[in-house]
Structure formats: structure tokens, C-alpha cells
């Protein structure tokens, strides 16, 4: 074969090397993410921790990623939890799925379990399949302070419980998997945030069932003032599907985290049958589904 043809074949094979189904080692995935997203450093974390009554421990055979079809398009996707360094001063934990998108992969960020209203948690990740479809299962050990006890001095006594959340990817966004979904038709959604002791974005949103959005930027936002927006059909479908999965009418009216300096969110959902559900959430972590909803509503500010 002529040298030119050999070179052409080599060049045409390069895009395939960036596909997640060609990544078979921890080092290869770290190098791929570092190169693709221009990170200074990437370190994969273990995904299969063993949860016990009050602790989480390393598995006998640690795993550093999960491969499954999380967006249900017939192609393998890659779930990762990683410590990512953007520069010398920025280091953060990240959870995301590299979901197949035609011949490319889209990074789908997932709400982190490590922040919750009850204290520190550790999460173990696994896959679940039902009716030929794959899902990501997140099992978290949550520590809750219950009371102060005196045993050779004062000490806190803690109780532990395990939470489970299941999700998949819809329209390149995280979606909650639920067996019991709300059937009410949403008429409108109102969402607003308050100030915190820092630079939390303060804004208001009103979303109609046809996707029309009224936005008011108040403080610590890129755009202040009143704007009229319109959601894309894909985003509107995502929002209505997410609301049905969360089943808003069954949630509590009030949530709060156990620490101060947090922001408060106010959510009002009005239904076509006349029902109205109002939720006040101090800390924006009332449930995992609500936290996922808040992340989406925050994204509407980027226009």
C-alpha cells in the first residue's frame, strides 16, 4: 500500500480513538478527559464503595467507571466521578456521564450527593437494567446528628440511613427515574431565589405550559432586568417529564439544611385542575429530584 494511503487511513481513524468505547483503562480515561476538556489534572475516584451500617469502605476490587447505555440510544455511555483540577488554585469533585450524541459524546453533569441537609455522605454507584434500558443507581450513606450524649465526656450520637436515587439521561440532561409519576397537567411554574451571605444569584422565573418564560434578574446575575424568553421544545419536554418524575404534589412544603449562610428557593407549581403546590427550600437540597430541577432552572439564566 502506498505511504499516502497509509497516512490517510491513520488520520481517518483518529476520531474513533476519542470515543468512550475505546477507553479501557483508568489512565486512558484520565488522559482523554484532560485532553478533551483542557483540565490541568484529572483523577478518577472509585465508584463501587461498600456501604456498611455507619461507614463506607473500599471494595475488594475497586472500579473507576461504569459503562452502560444511560441515554437509551443503543450506544455505550461512560459514568465517572473525578477530582478535577482546572488550574493551580481550583480543585473540585465532579460527577458526570459522557453520553453518546451521534458520533460525539456530550458531558452531562449530575448533582453531587456529597452535599445534603443531614451531613457528610458517601455514595456508591451501580447500574440497573429494566425492560432493556440501563439506569444509574446512587446509594448514599447519610449521617444525621440526633443528640448530645455524655459518656466519659460529651459526644454526639449519630444515626445513619441509606438513600437511593435512580436516574438516566434525557435530552443530554439528568432525568430522575420514577415508577410512580404525577399525572396532573402543569399550567405554570414560578421559581425565585433569595440572597445569601455570599454572591448567590437572585432572580425570578415564570414558565407557562407553552414554554414562554418571564425572567427577572435581580442581583449577582449576568443580566439584570426583565426579559421574555422561550424554551426549546426539547427543554420543555425535559422539564415536564422531570416534574412528573419528581411528583411535586407528594413532596413536603418546607425543606432546610442544617447549616447557615445558604440561599432559599421558592417554587410554585400550578396545575390545570386548579391544584397548587408551594415549596420553600432553604439550601436548595430538599430532595435529589428538587436539586436536579433547580440546576435546570438555574441554567435558563444563560441566554
Which three three-digit cell numbers place residue 9?
Answer: 487511513
Query: What predicted TM-score, i.e. pTM, was given to this entire model?
Result: 0.85
Instruction: Report the pLDDT value the prediction gives residue 87, as an integer from 0 to 100.
Output: 75
**Distant-in-sequence contacts of 203-206, Cβ < 8 A, 24+ apart:** 203/301, 205/297, 205/300
**Model pLDDT, residue 163:** 87
Residue with cell 445558604: 262
Displacement of CA 146 from its chain's centroid (Å): 28
Residue 58 CB neighbours (<10 A): 10
Mean pLDDT over all residues of the chain? 87
Among the ranges given (14-28, 81-95, 260-274), the one the predictor scored with the smallest mean pLDDT: 14-28
Q: Using CA atoms, how far apart are residues 76 and 156, in angstroms rounded to an integer?
A: 45
Gap between the Cα atoms of 281 and 231, Å rounded: 25
Which residue from 198, 202, 184, 192 is spatially nearest to 271, judged by alpha carbons?
Answer: 184
Give residue 70's pLDDT band: very low, low, confident or very high (50, 70, 90): very high
Residues 149-191 pLDDT 10s: 666 777 767 778 888 999 999 999 999 999 889 999 999 999 9
Taking the CB of residue 222, how many other CB atoms lie within 10 A of it? 9
Q: Mean pLDDT, to the nearest integer, of 229-254?
A: 95
Confidence of residue 23 (pLDDT cuts 50, 70, 90): confident
Domain borders along the chain are: 17-176, 186-299
**Stretch 113-142: mean pLDDT, rounded?**
81
Q: What is the pLDDT of residues 191-240, one digit of tens each?
A: 999 999 889 999 999 999 999 999 999 999 999 999 999 999 999 999 99
pLDDT for position 4: 47
Query: How much is the average pLDDT of 271-275?
Result: 95
pLDDT over threshold 70, residue 7? no
d(Cα 94, Cα 110) in Å, to the nearest integer? Answer: 8
Higher pLDDT pick, 21 / 11? 21
CA 170 to chain centre: 12
pLDDT at 14 over 50: no
pLDDT of 17 > 70? The answer is no
Phi, psi for residue 199 in degrees, rounded to 5: -115, 45
Q: Say whether domain 186-299 belongs to CATH 3.30.1560.10.
A: yes
pLDDT the model gives residue 115: 52
Amino acid at each position: 500500500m502506498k505511504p499516502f494511503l497509509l497516512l490517510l487511513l491513520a488520520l481517518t481513524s483518529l476520531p474513533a480513538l476519542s470515543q468512550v468505547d475505546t477507553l479501557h483503562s483508568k489512565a486512558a480515561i484520565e488522559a482523554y478527559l484532560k485532553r478533551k476538556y483542557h483540565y490541568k489534572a484529572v483523577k478518577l475516584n472509585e465508584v463501587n464503595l461498600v456501604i456498611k451500617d455507619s461507614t463506607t469502605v473500599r471494595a475488594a476490587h475497586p472500579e473507576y467507571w461504569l459503562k452502560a447505555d444511560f441515554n437509551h440510544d443503543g450506544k455505550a455511555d461512560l459514568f465517572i466521578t473525578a477530582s478535577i483540577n482546572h488550574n493551580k488554585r481550583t480543585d473540585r469533585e465532579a460527577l458526570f456521564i459522557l453520553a453518546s450524541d451521534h458520533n460525539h459524546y456530550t458531558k452531562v453533569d449530575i448533582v453531587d450527593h456529597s452535599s445534603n441537609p443531614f451531613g457528610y455522605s458517601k455514595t456508591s454507584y451501580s447500574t440497573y437494567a429494566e425492560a432493556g434500558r440501563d439506569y444509574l443507581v446512587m446509594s448514599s450513606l447519610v449521617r444525621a446528628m440526633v443528640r448530645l450524649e455524655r459518656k466519659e465526656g460529651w459526644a454526639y450520637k449519630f444515626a445513619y440511613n441509606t438513600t437511593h436515587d435512580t436516574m438516566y439521561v434525557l435530552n443530554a440532561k439528568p432525568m430522575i427515574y420514577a415508577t410512580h409519576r404525577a399525572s396532573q397537567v402543569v399550567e405554570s411554574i414560578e421559581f425565585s431565589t433569595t440572597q445569601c451571605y455570599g454572591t448567590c444569584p437572585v432572580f425570578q422565573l415564570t414558565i407557562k405550559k407553552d414554554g414562554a418564560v418571564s425572567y427577572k434578574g435581580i442581583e449577582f446575575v449576568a443580566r439584570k432586568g426583565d426579559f421574555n424568553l422561550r424554551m426549546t421544545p426539547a427543554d420543555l419536554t425535559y422539564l415536564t417529564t422531570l416534574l412528573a418524575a419528581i411528583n411535586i404534589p407528594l413532596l413536603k412544603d418546607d425543606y432546610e439544611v442544617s447549616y447557615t449562610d445558604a440561599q432559599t428557593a421558592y417554587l410554585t407549581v400550578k396545575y390545570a385542575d386548579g391544584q397548587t403546590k408551594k415549596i420553600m427550600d432553604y439550601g436548595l437540597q430538599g430532595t435529589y429530584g428538587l436539586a436536579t430541577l433547580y440546576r435546570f432552572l438555574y441554567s435558563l439564566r444563560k441566554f
